[in-house]
Amino acid sequence: MNDVIDDWLARFDTALSSGDANAVAELFEPGGYWRDLLAFTWNIHTAEGRPAIRDMLKACLAGTAPSGWHRTTDAEETEDGTAAWIAFRTAVATAEGRVTVRDGRAHILFTAMKDIVGHEEPVGHNRPMGIVHKADRHRETWSEARAKEQARIGREDQPEVLIVGGGQGGVALAARLKQFGVPALIVEKNPRIGDSWRNRYRSLVLHDPVWYDHLPYLPFPETWPVFCPKDKIGDWLEAYALIFELDAWTSTSCDSAQWDADAQRWTATVTKDGEEITLTPKQLVFCTGAYGPPNLPDFPGQSDYRGTLLHSSQYHEGAPFRGKRALVIGAGSSAHDVAVDLWEAGANVTMFQRRPSIVVRSKTLMELGFDIYSQDAADRGLTADRADMLAASTPYALFTAKQQALYKTIIARDADFYAKLDRAGFAYDFGEDDSGLMMRALRTASGYYIDVGASTLIAEGEIGVIGNDEIECLTPEGIRFASGREEQADVIVACTGYQSMNEAVAPIVSRAAADMVGPCWGLGSGIRGDPGPWLGELRNMWKPTAHEGLWFHGGNLALSRFYSRFVALQLKARQLGIPTPVYGRPAPCRVPEDA
């Protein structure tokens, strides 16, 4: 088996060295895939099929100058072909990847930058010594150096990178940048790091299991609960920021940021504990969550409604609504969690479902969907970092098909569960193409629920469901539907989701900038909320946008962990002044009118 890989690598190396993009492309299946994270493209890019691979190489091969291709593990047979982990280097970096070969041709090639040579991530064998074992009359101790750094950043010393938001995205990125020696400053509007979790509704608990949720460098302890409560995540983020010596200004808002194209830097104004401070970072990264601002309710007759109307982001706990009639609008994750929270507080709860949701039982998803992120995997020595690389080695186009196969299994296995939801009048589907929850999350970041208890309440009629209808207007007592149905409610919680991340750019940079970069997330899959054409990668996440110096980083804990490394590598290269020609940089989404 190793021969299959070694032979292919030898031919590949020869073709690359000849500089002949056609010859290289011939080594792929006609419909083969090449997913690249920075190594060739300084972008996150998947070339699908020989013509796309050829075009990519024509643009990138000479500058990349790849060499030293070799296998780093024994080859293994997979459902996609013979596969092995590989390593190589480029003109400026070490890189690794994975190749899957069928009948002598590459079905999938995955390449990822590892370290910029001379600026390796200081982990393991590269970790700092902590002390020079030599007496030194000019010794500055760790705490003295750290105190100086903290006092100077944002004042005497300008950060290279300004990070807006101190949730998991912000702290993961700041931790990477600290290791890479890129001065970065987090501004977080809340008083403490972790408050973005603490401020959510009372009963919130992570829906993903612990093995999927580790942050960079410091895995959760082996005692950590499988599903972590929100406040405990908040405390973890706060401790993490302390441990990794992150520079973070809390109780600080980012009020404005203007790009100076001549100086190639931002002028940003922040307010820290009432003091206005101007910063001039080279890079501005929005780590404001997986979403933008909330889609606040805007129903006809809204001002007539006499009850309590809240967006899910404003909902904190159910206690005030004990014995009251509650109506939850929506059927995604927040809607389910809020409905349970209200029910637990003793409210009489009805959910108005606007369209079908994807619902999967947590236990099922853990057993079938998280096999590489599990205690069994950890016991086999598969770390989250290695599992991330494995997950990243499958192009999104192929991931869709794999998820469709998974959902066939899930639907059969949990037939009883779905039959009960049916009987309760709850509308579910598995996505437009039956590719399930993860694909919907990637495509639209909405419309799904991992069942941790709400579905049982719905199946048992404890939470009522209204579907097949539309809201006509709010009335003084509740909601009137298009069918003529009227529902009285003392409280209405609109779990109507959030706008895209780029909407966070508008109030800080400008409306024009937000429009120019366009929405985040989505693959161009051509479904509602994710219009085509097919892109093969997520929009705007963790890679250059159409706006110079403007980046988005975030997602759940797992995505924040993995992609923080690649965002940090891109920012480090720019700090160093290494040429970073971006292949396939997105065009402005809409040319701003004042441009």
User: Under the criterion CB under 8 A, does residue 587 sit at the interface with a second copy?
Assistant: no
Work out whether 80 is an interface residue with a second copy (CB under 8 A).
no
Interface with a second copy, residue 244, by CB under 8 A = yes
Indicate the residue among 129 and 261 with the shorter CB distance to a second copy.
129
Q: 3-state SS string over 25-78?
A: HHCEEEEEEEEEECCCCCCEEEEECHHHHHHHHHHHHHHHCCEEEEECCCCEEE
134 binds a second copy per the rule CB under 8 A: yes
Q: Binding residue for a second copy (CB under 8 A) from 62, 123, 319, 405?
A: 123
Q: How far is the CB of 144 from a second copy (least distance, A)?
A: 8
CB of 453 to a second copy, least distance (A): 4
Instruction: Kindly state the helix (H) or strand (E) to which residue 311 belongs, with its residue range.
Output: strand 308-311
| 143 Rama class: left (phi>0) / alpha (psi -120 to 50) / beta | alpha
Distance of alpha carbon 337 from alpha carbon 343, whole angstroms: 10
Segment lying near a second copy (by CB under 8 A), choices 85-93, 294-302, 455-463, 489-497: 455-463
Question: Quick one: which of 3, 222, 262, 273 contacts a second copy (CB under 8 A)?
Answer: 222
Least distance CB 571 / a second copy (angstroms): 18
Give the binding range for a second copy (CB under 8 A) out of 139-147, 416-424, 519-527, 562-570. Answer: 139-147
- Whichever of 274 and 381 has its CB closer to a second copy, that residue is 381
Nearer to a second copy, 457 or 493 (CB): 457
Q: Helix 557-576 to helix 168-180 angle, to the nearest 10 degrees? A: 40
Map residue 294 onto helix, strand or coil. Answer: strand
Going from the C-alpha of 4 to that of each of 50, 74, 253, 477, the distances in angstroms are: 21, 11, 56, 71
Q: Which of 19, 225, 476, 532 binds a second copy (CB under 8 A)?
A: 225
- Is residue 135 a contact point for a second copy (CB under 8 A)? yes
HSE toward the beta carbon, residue 103, CA cutoff 13 A: 5
Q: How many residues bind a second copy (CB under 8 A)?
A: 64
Which one of 184-192, 219-227, 481-489, 569-577 is the stretch in contact with a second copy (CB under 8 A)?
A: 219-227
Instruction: State the sign of the Cα–Cα–Cα–Cα dihedral 142, 115, 78, 67.
Output: negative
**Piece in contact with a second copy (CB under 8 A), picked from 141-149, 253-261, 391-399, 417-425:** 141-149
Find out whether 186 and 130 touch, Cβ atoms under 8 Å: no
Six-digit token string for 494: 């609109």
Q: Does 413 bind a second copy (CB under 8 A)?
A: no
Contacts of 545 (CB under 8 A, 6+ apart): 517, 551, 552, 586
Residue 68 or 225 having the CB closest to a second copy: 225
In Å, how far are 139, 146, 148, 150 from 143, measured between CA atoms? 11, 5, 8, 10
CB of 135: closest distance to a second copy in angstroms?
A: 4
**SS3 of 439-459:** HHHHHHCCCEEEECCHHHHHH
Q: Which is nearer to a second copy, 337 or 503 (CB)?
A: 337
Q: Among 230, 244, 235, 121, which Cα is nearest to 175's?
A: 244
Nearer to a second copy, 118 or 221 (CB): 221
Among 79, 118, 143, 593, binds a second copy (CB under 8 A): 143
Residue from 229, 356, 529, 588 in contact with a second copy (CB under 8 A): 229
Q: What is the full DSSP assignment across 464-481?
A: EEE-S--EEEE-SSEEEE
Q: 3-state SS of 81-129? A: EEEEEEEEECCCEEEEEEEEEECCEEEEEEEEEEEECCCCCCCHHHCCC
Q: Pick the binder of a second copy from 118, 323, 381, 577 (CB under 8 A).
A: 381
Among 1, 62, 131, 405, binds a second copy (CB under 8 A): 131
Nearer to a second copy, 100 or 455 (CB): 455
Beta bridge partners of 265: 260
Contacting a second copy (CB under 8 A), which of 277, 378, 391, 535?
378
**Which residues here bind a second copy, judged by CB under 8 A?**
122-125, 127-137, 139, 141-143, 146, 179, 202-203, 205-206, 210, 217-218, 221-229, 231-232, 235-236, 238-239, 242-244, 340, 343-346, 362-363, 375, 378-379, 381, 451-454, 456-457, 462
